[in-house]
Structure 1
Amino acid sequence: MKSNLAVDFSVDKDNRTITIKREFAAERALVWDAYTKAEILDQWWAPKPWKTRTKSMDFRDGGTWLYAMVGPKGEEHWSIVDYTKIDPKQSFSGLDAFTDSDGNINKEMPRSAWEVSFDEKGDHTHVKIIVSYDDLAQLEATLEMGFREGLLVAMENLDELLPTL
């Protein structure tokens, strides 16, 4: 299902950042929950036909989210988010990395810093995500892996899920 909600995906190679601005037809508290509760993230974070499966989540400053993207043939790609700062219902930030199923970081893969903020505009919520990389090669590798396409499709999953929550 394609959404008519505002979306902007931009890449700034000079500053090694990707900025995603996305509007959702739901109040901020609900969208916040969708980004911060494992039982909801597992329903939308992966682009179909992939699924997200959380192994553990401790959403607090210094906490982590360890999860797998599980493919249609059962293949698993593990990631971790190390939460660095949380301002409830306003924003959170963290470091994202590819890992094994035990959370050991794969240093051969890109690592990024995420800043995610939530702003309510009437009955809609605007989410802004800034993803930063230490070097341009990591940013480019992430884009080559289909980050843009995958994230935008996952956000469409959230569009479909929000009215049911």
Structure 2
Amino acid sequence: MPVTSLTRDAEALTLTVVADFGVSRQRLWDAYVDARQIEKFWGPPTYPSTFTRHDAFVGGRSHYYMTGPEGEQHGGYWAWEVVEEPSRFVVTDGFADLEGNPAEEMTAMRAEFDFEETDAGSRLTVTSTFASAEQLEQVVAMGMEEGVRESMSQIDAVLADLASFALGAGTQTQILSDTQVRITRIIRGSVADVWRAHHDPDLMKRWLLGPDGWTMPVCIVAENVGDTYTQQWASEDGEQSFGFTGTLLESASPHREVTTEQMIGTEGPQTRNELTLTPAQGGTLLSLVVTYPDAATRDMILGTGMADGMETSYARLEREVLGSS
């Protein structure tokens, strides 16, 4: 078990956890900023978590929910205040509904995560500061101390699983719920370069093509929130064509954007796409959370081989735009 100490200070209104790990500080940091990894240990084994949003940048947010043994779900959120990769981040940590909206009846706390290098690997110190003695006692009574120990006991297994999260694993698809899917890939390139490759029409026409044999004659980028984008593809033989259009809903360059998407010439279905770019060992972790209107639509679109086409495009992005072999 990695927990070295757990100290409650009633005067300072803090709860401090120290845990030691036999991996590098960077590896430990990556486990916390990658939604695929943190949801494997953020919460006791009997209350596994699902992260539907995880923004490791100042001003970003994380939304998650824990599912209990009887199927009951409890939501939480982080509001990211400080990010100093790979040594420190600070978040406001609070309870929320399943959409990530803060629970007004529950006061949030401040959580500071400090990552240090040690002779044996790395050390994580998490200091939670509460608004009052009553709040501290309330969360302790809810079993927070034991929950922390149980949660951290799962981290070693995640850290040991390099193959699932390392550069070279390719495009991965994870079903989050009946309506949501998360698509992830580590791309060889900086966050700034990957962002530019998603927003420069000339670059997009070089890599965003899916399987070989297609061109992208139309690429209109939405530059400001509220703008419409249009992307159209045509087969090289000129016999087939299709396209998508949508609206830019949110933008926090170069880390996150949210758009709608709908196939041109159809009545639906429309999806909501949330793109997040996070620095990671070996490049940039690209995460795309897609929200569908229902499970049937989700399965229909996944069944088209969408992930395979995306992998072909991302490999082309690395090879032809970012210059990776």
Q: Same fold (TM over 0.5)?
A: yes
Could you tell me which residue of structure 1 aligns to residue 71 of structure 2? 74
Could you tell me which residue of structure 2 aligns to residue 89 of structure 1? 86
1:149 to 146, 159, 172: 146
Deviates more, 1:50-59 or 1:60-69: 50-59
TM-fit CA distance, 1:122: 2.5
The whole-number CA distance in structure 1 between the counterparts of 2:80 and 2:15 is: 19
Q: Does 1:140 align with 2:137?
A: yes
TM-fit CA distance, 1:23: 0.5
The whole-number CA distance in structure 2 between the counterparts of 1:92 and 1:19 is: 15
Does the 8 Å CA contact 1:9/1:20 hold for their aligned counterparts?
A: yes
Could you tell me which residue of structure 2 aligns to residue 17 of structure 1? 14
TM-score (norm 1): 0.93
Give the letter aligned to residue 70 of structure 1. Answer: T
Does the 8 Å CA contact 2:33/2:54 hold for their aligned counterparts?
A: no
Q: Which has the higher contact order (CA 8 A, sep 6+)?
A: 1
Does the 8 Å CA contact 2:3/2:149 hold for their aligned counterparts?
A: no
TM-fit CA distance, 1:160: 2.3
Could you tell me which residue of structure 2 aligns to residue 44 of structure 1? 41
TM-fit CA distance, 1:131: 0.4
Provide the secondary structure at the position in 1 that maps to 2:154.
Answer: helix
Could you tell me which residue of structure 2 aligns to residue 129 of structure 1? 126
Does the 8 Å CA contact 2:77/2:93 hold for their aligned counterparts?
A: yes
Unaligned runs of 5+ in 1: none
Q: Which runs of 4+ in 1 moved over 2 A?
A: none
1:158 to 155, 160, 166: 155
Does the 8 Å CA contact 1:61/1:86 hold for their aligned counterparts?
A: yes
TM-fit CA distance, 1:164: 1.5
CA 1:92/1:124 → structure 2, altered by over 3 Å: closer, same or farther? same
The whole-number CA distance in structure 1 between the counterparts of 2:90 and 2:106 is: 20
What per-residue deviation string (whole Å, max 9, x for no partner) do you get for residues 2-26 of structure 1?
x2x4511001111111111110111
Give the letter aligned to residue 92 of structure 2. Answer: L
Give the letter aligned to residue 15 of structure 1. Answer: A
Provide the secondary structure at the position in 1 that maps to 2:153.
Answer: helix
The whole-number CA distance in structure 1 between the counterparts of 2:82 and 2:3 is: 27
What per-residue deviation string (whole Å, max 9, x for no partner) do you get for residues 41-73 of structure 1?
111112112211011111100101100011122
Percent identity for Structure 1 against Structure 2: 27
TM-score (norm 2): 0.48
Provide the secondary structure at the position in 1 that maps to 2:39.
Answer: helix
Q: How does 1:56-71 map to 2 (within 5 A)?
A: 56-71=53-68
The whole-number CA distance in structure 2 between the counterparts of 1:143 and 1:160 is: 26
Deviates more, 1:81-90 or 1:29-38: 29-38
Does the 8 Å CA contact 1:11/1:19 hold for their aligned counterparts?
A: yes
Provide the secondary structure at the position in 2 that maps to 1:44.
Answer: coil
Does the 8 Å CA contact 2:3/2:17 hold for their aligned counterparts?
A: no
Does the 8 Å CA contact 1:7/1:22 hold for their aligned counterparts?
A: yes
Could you tell me which residue of structure 2 aligns to residue 104 of structure 1? 101
Provide the secondary structure at the position in 2 that maps to 1:39.
Answer: helix
Does the 8 Å CA contact 2:3/2:152 hold for their aligned counterparts?
A: no
Give the letter aligned to residue 141 of structure 1. Answer: Q
Does the 8 Å CA contact 2:7/2:17 hold for their aligned counterparts?
A: yes
1:120 to 117, 120, 142: 117
